[in-house]
Amino acid sequence: MFSDDIISRVRDSVDIVDFISGYVALKKTGKNHTGLCPFHAEKTPSFSVNPDKQIFHCFGCGAGGDVFKFVELQEGLNFPEAVRKFAERSGIALPADSRSRGEDKKNVEERMALLKAVAEAAAYYQKELEGPAGSTARAYLAKRGVSDVTIKSFRLGYSRPEWDGLLKHLKQKGYTPAQLEKAGLVVKRSEGEGHYDRFRGRIMFPIVDIAGNIIAFGGRVMDDSLPKYLNSSETPLYSKSNTLYCLDAAKDAGRKQGYFIIVEGYLDALACHQYGVRNAVATLGTALTEGHLRLMRRFADKLVLIFDPDPAGVKASLRGFDLFVASGMKVNVVSLPDNDDPDTFLQKHGQEAFAARLRQSMKFMDFVLAQVVPEGHAASIDEKVEKAQEMLGFIARLSSGIERDYYLKRTAEALDLDETVLRQEMPKQAKHPGPAAGATTQAPSRGHRPRAEEILVHLMLKDETIARNLQSQIKPQDFTDPLFRRMVQRIFDVLAATGSLDSRALMQDGDEELNGLLSHYAVLEMEYDDPEKHCQDCVEIIKQQDPEKQMKLLSKALEEARVRGDRAEFIRLAKEHQELSRRPGRRIPGR
């Protein structure tokens, strides 16, 4: 979207230590600045920022990267949003991407105008709730247990039962009916001319995006009239499939606790936050979507679903199976007793009892098994056949072979069937979905990495001269560790392209696995008595490695590239494999 030159200019305009100091208390230790990691709970600092390389890394949770990556993780932005944030902060004008400058400026101005209109509407609704007209709404909220602090924190409001109260107010502010219609605030009359307010006689819940902007509303009636809930229509600002209520307030708690709680309604989400359960979010009149999971995956890799135990609720939960498997997120489910929802349960029993229920949550596949095979051994043979087929349909779609094996055994036990027969019945045509886009494979632990390769990579990142000299002494394919091989390839590519080894240029968007390893070694402090000698010793060891072992590792890397669908990496590794197969090998003396 942006040229490398623009990205570099924006990145160079920000000092990473100064910026991160606004979020983390940093203390200078050696060449780095260290502090408690903002991305996971810890008592001993494992978070380091290197001012020379302008890179951060946490040795506890593995988060790392440049200043763009930090703000992506901290504020839930994507890369273009992070670039725009720092460009605005530094006063750098960004060119349009594939559109003309005029069109880009027009779209930005239109979005800003719509955001202002929605913000004005929120202020209007808040004032109405606080005034005489909002007395009934205030009484209703008090009856439902919503505190004044929650009302103010989440900016709740009230819309009068009039046809054009908001329309008149915003027209006086200079907004046109067409703008208000586009913002989802008013509706065009089906007959005749003119518009009328979309929300009338409702308690208003502002819907906020990840950046903290109010982008839409949900409205709830206080009697039995229908529809009970009314949400904003889809607008240039708002998409219900890509927005979650309370995510802006829940993202930090979700990241720190490692999971989000999914509830169904506005009042359920507000009750959770009011009682200190600050990682709760709610969908907006729709089932969970891939967009919702993608949003939450920025902050956490686990979900806990509060499901309704009635047949419709169970069916709705089961419908999300494929979505959960494809997302790569861990999903647990929990139900509440006595037909309670989170709102009523918290008011009756409090936060501690709710937390205890969460601790009793079960894995989603255990929930599936319990719903599909509730009768267990008591089922008739026809029911066993039917339920076995249904369970096998779920099991076959699991991505992990270990999980498939485990739940085959569990299903055989639950139905009192022969496990071998069940295995034969497994649908052979089933496809096992891989990890979702954006999911990363865990890098091998440091203890399993070849020490000589590790030292050489660290020396290259520590001293650009060493990296430049090594270009004529060693090749990426000489490294047996696939990640080190890719890292050395990138180091050499950056040197060839730019003539220098700017650590920030090494961090390429989209390759989180390699970026994490680069940030690790870029900030790792290891001292060498004689760096040049260490370098030559490591080169000797690496170049004398057993070719047979290298062939096995290359074969493994080829298979990993094939599974990832990384065609370019697969072709490159295949060439390395072919080249190595032609080379005579020498074993390391004494091994």
Q: Determine which of 179-183, 330-334, 574-578 has the lowest per-residue pLDDT on average.
A: 574-578
75 contacts: CB under 8 Å, gap ≥ 6: 85, 210, 211
**Residue 532 and residue 512 in one domain:** yes
Band of pLDDT at residue 23, cut at 50, 70 and 90:
confident
Per-residue model confidence as pLDDT tens digits over 491-547: 999 888 877 777 667 877 667 788 888 888 888 888 787 888 889 888 888 877 656
Identify the CATH number of the domain in which residue 272 sits.
Answer: 3.40.1360.10
Q: Is residue 40 part of a domain?
A: yes
DSSP track, 428-463: TT-----PPTT--PPPPPGGGS-HHHHHHHHHHHH-
DSSP track, 303-337: EEEE---SHHHHHHHHHTHHHHHHHT-EEEEE--G
| pLDDT computed for residue 286 by the predictor | 85
Give mean pLDDT, residues 401-422.
92
**Residue 516 and residue 496 in one domain:** yes
**Residue 249 and residue 341 in one domain:** yes
Burial 310-323 (b: 16+ CB within 10 A, else e): eeeebebbbebbeb
| pLDDT computed for residue 546 by the predictor | 58
| pLDDT computed for residue 438 by the predictor | 36
Q: Decide if pLDDT at 103 tops 60.
A: no
Domain boundary among 65, 90, 115: 90
The answer to whether 151 and 158 have CB atoms below 8 angstroms apart is no
Band of pLDDT at residue 100, cut at 50, 70 and 90:
very low
What is the Cα–Cα distance from 116 to 239, expressed in whole angstroms? 18
What is the Cα–Cα distance from 217 to 159, expressed in whole angstroms? 11
Does pTM top 0.85 for this prediction? no
Residue 334: beta bridge partners?
Answer: 306
Q: Is residue 436 part of a domain?
A: no
**Residue 84 and residue 112 in one domain:** no
> Structural domain of residue 251, as residue ranges?
242-368
DSSP 93: P
Domain boundary among 238, 269, 300: 238
Amino acid making up residue 217: F
Residue 535: beta bridge partners?
Answer: none
- Comparing 133 with 374, which gets the higher pLDDT? 133
**Residue 303 and residue 380 in one domain:** no
The strand pair at 259-263 and 302-306 is best described as parallel
Q: Is residue 508 part of a domain?
A: yes
Identify the CATH number of the domain in which residue 199 sits.
Answer: 3.90.980.10
**Residue 459 and residue 565 in one domain:** yes
| pLDDT computed for residue 448 by the predictor | 54
269 vs 70, 247, 250, 252, 273, CA distance in Å? 28, 10, 10, 15, 6
Identify the CATH number of the domain in which residue 17 sits.
Answer: 3.90.580.10
575 contacts: CB under 8 Å, gap ≥ 6: none
- Comparing 442 with 488, which gets the higher pLDDT? 488
**Residue 324 and residue 364 in one domain:** yes
Per-residue model confidence as pLDDT tens digits over 415-441: 989 999 888 887 543 544 443 333 333
Q: Is residue 432 part of a domain?
A: no
Q: Is residue 294 part of a domain?
A: yes
**Residue 185 and residue 311 in one domain:** no
Q: Is residue 589 part of a domain?
A: no
Please tell me the total count of domains within the chain.
5
What is the Cα–Cα distance from 169 to 181, expressed in whole angstroms? 14
Band of pLDDT at residue 218, cut at 50, 70 and 90:
very high
Mean pLDDT in the chain? 85
308 contacts: CB under 8 Å, gap ≥ 6: 264, 314, 316, 335, 341
Q: Is residue 431 part of a domain?
A: no
Q: And the tokens for 166?
A: 């908001």
The strand pair at 280-282 and 259-263 is best described as parallel
| pLDDT computed for residue 106 by the predictor | 66
**Residue 71 and residue 123 in one domain:** no
Q: Decide if pLDDT at 142 tops 90.
A: yes
**Residue 262 and residue 288 in one domain:** yes
What is the Cα–Cα distance from 350 to 344, expressed in whole angstroms? 10
Q: And the tokens for 129?
A: 């709730």
**Residue 60 and residue 48 in one domain:** yes
Q: Is residue 587 part of a domain?
A: no
**Residue 138 and residue 233 in one domain:** yes
| pLDDT computed for residue 578 by the predictor | 75
